[in-house]
């Protein structure tokens, strides 16, 4: 086979690969799914690299940066494919900001959050809103409103619930209580027993949606696949917002629905990581890293997952024997949003696991 015919064959193989389309488009959404190398330069890049496009006959595709390095290529200095992508770095930054907002008893200013993130207030505000759909202030308000709903169930008095949720005065809360609760705080604590609640069910892009409201405002929003099941759920909830632990803690990003009232802890991929306190009194959640965290129980070997990790990862060894059965596996990989990405008692092929987790 002549050299030109060989080059034409290599070019055709590259152009016919769907990954080439992402490279030509410099598609940032493809970052983290693969890298490509260029024979003539000896470097490898992420799909979104802004360098001049290479000739297709000189391009090779690799599943991970490690594969490209093993093939003899070095990382591009422009797009730094051996480092977290811009999207990953921004996601980690916003995740840390959300945790900071949630942990603070006082409202944090935009300047304070931006300074901690290493950004200007304008840039941080734009990045935060692009990733969460809310402004930092909007996120803080939504989190405070969620806290007041929980505190109304747990606190001895309405006043105690209001102050423990972060409100500075009763008047400030009561001015917006209808929008937050859809009824008075006293009626809310009673599960809306004396309120007349109407609801409607419709269809949206995420499936069936139920919206319930009292004469004061919206008091419940439920999502699901079965409209009849939603109707039964709102009828069976009783103390709807206060006792819906299955909705509060059992949300899963894989679409699997559980009991809206009863919360059953699980580490099935997609589920929220169960929260426990260890023997020393610390919360396991406090040991989670800002990016991915690998929980290790017993003698499981985590090296395959760690060596293949394309994103920052921290390993937490949990030696408490009373905690291990709750987490159902010796290795549990946790996403930045505290949902379980993967679990297993052993891992022989870390690359495959990461491809599934990040796809």
**pLDDT for 244-283, tens place per residue?**
555 555 566 665 555 555 567 788 888 888 888 887 778 8
326's enclosing H/E stretch is helix 324-327
pLDDT for 293 beyond 60 = yes
Over residues 111-133, the mean pLDDT reads: 91
Cα separation values, 209 from 195, 200, 255, Å: 21, 8, 14
| Strands ordered across the beta sheet of 59-62 | 59-62, 35-38, 43-45, 74-75
139-186 pLDDT, tens per residue?
888 888 878 877 777 777 777 777 777 777 777 777 777 777 777 777
Report, as an integer, the average pLDDT of 72-87: 88
Taken as a whole, the chain contains a residue count of 359
**Catalytic residue positions?**
45, 49, 76, 79
When the candidates are 3.40.30.120, 1.10.8.870, 3.90.1210.10, 3.40.50.1980, the CATH number that belongs to 284-358 is 3.40.30.120
pTM: 0.46
- CATH class held by domain 3-75: alpha beta
The predicted pLDDT at position 113 comes to 93
**Is pLDDT larger for residue 214 or for residue 318?**
318
Mean per-residue pLDDT, 199-225: 78
Coil/strand/helix, residue 37:
strand
CATH 3.30.160 domain span(s) along the chain = 194-264
Whether the per-residue pLDDT at 122 is higher than 80: the answer is: yes
- CATH number of the domain at 194-264, please? 3.30.160
Give residue-wise pLDDT tens across range 36-59.
999 999 999 999 998 888 899 999
Tell me the C-alpha distance between 48 and 349, whole Å. Answer: 27
190-203: pLDDT as tens digits? 666 666 778 888 87
**In which band, very low, low, confident or very high, does the pLDDT at 296 lie, cut at 50, 70 and 90?**
very high
Kindly state the percentage of the chain with pLDDT values over 70: 88
Q: Round to whole Å and give the CA distance between 89 and 220.
A: 35
Tell me the pLDDT of the chain averaged across its residues: 82
Kindly state the tokens that stand for 132.
């969460």
Please report the DSSP string for 135-174 in residue order. -HHHHHHHHHHHHHHHHHHHSSSHHHHHHHTT-S-HHHHH
The average pLDDT across 189-218 equals 75
DSSP per-residue codes, 253-321: TT-----SS------STTBBPPP-B-TTS-BGGGG--SSEEEEEETT---HHHHHH-SS-EEEEEE--T
Per-residue pLDDT band for 96 (boundaries 50, 70, 90) equals: very high
Range in 221-225, 236-240, 338-342 with the lowest mean pLDDT: 236-240
Identify the pLDDT of residue 186.
74
CATH 3.40.30.120, the chain: domain bounds: 284-358
Residue 212: the pLDDT is 82
Which residue intervals of the chain bear CATH 3.40.10.10?
Answer: 3-75
């Amino acid at each position: 086979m002549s050299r030109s015919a060989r080059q034409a064959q290599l070019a055709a193989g590259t152009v016919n690969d769907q990954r080439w389309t992402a490279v030509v488009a410099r598609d940032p959404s493809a970052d983290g799914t693969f890298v490509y190398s260029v024979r003539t330069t000896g470097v490898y890049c992420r799909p979104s690299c802004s360098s001049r496009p290479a000739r297709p006959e000189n391009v090779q595709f690799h599943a991970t940066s490690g594969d490209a390095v093993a093939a003899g290529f070095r990382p591009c200095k422009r797009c730094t494919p051996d480092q977290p992508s811009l999207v990953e770095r921004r996601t980690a930054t916003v995740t840390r900001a959300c945790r900071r907002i949630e942990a603070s008893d006082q409202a944090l200013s935009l300047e304070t959050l931006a300074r901690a993130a290493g950004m200007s207030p304008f840039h941080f505000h734009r990045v935060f809103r692009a990733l969460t759909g809310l402004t930092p202030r909007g996120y803080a308000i939504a989190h405070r409103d969620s806290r007041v709903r929980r505190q109304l169930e747990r606190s001895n008095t309405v006043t105690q619930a209001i102050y423990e949720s972060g409100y500075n005065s009763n008047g400030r809360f009561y001015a917006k209580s209808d929008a937050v609760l859809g009824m008075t705080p006293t009626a809310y604590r009673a599960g809306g027993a004396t309120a007349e609640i109407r609801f409607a069910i419709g269809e949206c892009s995420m499936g069936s949606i139920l919206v319930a409201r009292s004469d004061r405002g919206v008091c419940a929003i439920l999502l699901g696949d079965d409209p009849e099941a939603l109707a039964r759920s709102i009828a069976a909830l009783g103390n709807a917002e206060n006792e819906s632990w299955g909705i509060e803690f059992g949300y899963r990003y894989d679409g699997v629905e559980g009991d809206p009232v009863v919360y059953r802890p699980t580490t099935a991929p997609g589920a929220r990581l169960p929260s426990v306190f260890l023997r020393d009194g610390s919360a396991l959640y406090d040991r989670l890293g800002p990016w991915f965290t690998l929980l290790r129980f017993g003698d499981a070997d985590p090296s395959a997952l760690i060596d293949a990790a394309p994103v920052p990862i921290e390993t937490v060894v949990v030696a408490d024997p009373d905690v291990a059965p709750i987490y159902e596996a010796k290795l549990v990989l946790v996403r930045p949003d505290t949902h379980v990405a993967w679990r297993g008692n052993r891992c022989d092929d870390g690359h495959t696991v990461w491809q599934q987790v990040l796809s």
